[in-house]
Structure 1
Amino acid sequence: MVSVPSPSQGTRSATPAEQPPLPVKLVIAGGFGVGKTTTVGSISDIRPLTTEAAITEVAAGVDDLTHTPGKTTTTVALDFGCITIDPTLKLYLFGTPGQDRFGFMWDDLIEGALGGLVIVDTRRLDDCYAAVDYFEHKDIPFAVAVNAFDGEVGHDLDEVRWALDISEHVPLIVFDARSTGSVRDALLVVLDVALARAQNARAT
């Protein structure tokens, strides 16, 4: 027999431990083939939603496949995944398409985002200028993460910062998009930047 509480007993309020985690939206950006889809897939608690399309002969003539000869698909809308950092915080990750021709989608993808992670391939720094400029123009807190392809980084971080003209207050790190722990650490850097921005705003 199921016992039903009487009206006099009222409804038990949820304890803090039972509260759902705070949802936080982060955007993963960068040029074509830098590892955005891999980054989301490496850490997501769920099977990531991807909008991958086959690279056609026409697209191959537009997109530089020199350093990614094995790449056969490309993101044409977004990647989506999520990760529960702890019982109080859940990150929703939105990966942007890397090609300029899909740039019109970025304004929708960043709506409500707390911060962003711009992924860089040091072999193709030119491909990452647009993402850095975009976050700076939109005044969204972000960090820059150099993806260590095959465990190697072609330039030291001071050279990368100079080449991308990144402000000193923007964190610049090295990470491995294939490693869950490395991706987690990179996302935590973004959260730290966003938190510092919020605290500074409250103090002024």
Structure 2
Amino acid sequence: MSGPTRPRLRLAAATAAAAALVLAGCSSSGSSAGADGQIGFVKSKGGRSTAAIGHRQDAPDISGTTLDGAKVALSDYKGKVVVLNVWGSWCGPCRSEAPYLQQIWEKYKDQGVQFLGINTRDVDPANAIRFEQEKGITFPSLYDPSGLEIAKFPKGSLNPQSIPTTLVVDREGKLAARAVGGQMDDALDELVQPVVAEQQTGQQQTGQQQ
């Protein structure tokens, strides 16, 4: 009697632990102020933080396969502002913010900006693909179910328990801004626009020097 019971108990415990991990991962809270200070982020409002030029850490060169089956690496977008969004089809706030991410992507994609999703904890990629189809998402997403690519980010920059998280990488490949929790269109715009403006100012200065 006890023999068959123990495996069932272990299975139930494993299932409960997995469910708890998913619930803990879908959070609107950010990392601690101490962790922010380690990487140059200064908190502003609504779960958003920014890092001033000269106080930014390098973004890791994450890479892998997209949900569409294509190979992708962050370094493929060298010289562009890259907006990274960590999400999962199981996450309610991810569903809420998805249409706004698409809107901001459409606004900036012709201004030297690339959006790249990082899909995590979707054991079956079909769920993530269905999510993108339902929400009309057209930018690519790296498939990272186990979080191996997420783990490459500097400590304090990307909390794997805080999903969704959006990171903005400047044209030098450095972490310039972050938003933790689902963001609406104005909030996302406020996150991306200043980093895009940095490059526009640089281009103007270069043109004047020539």
| Fold match (TM-score > 0.5) | no
- Say which one has the larger Rg: 1
Higher relative contact order (CA 8 A, sep 6+): 2
**TM-score normalised according to structure 1 size:** 0.35
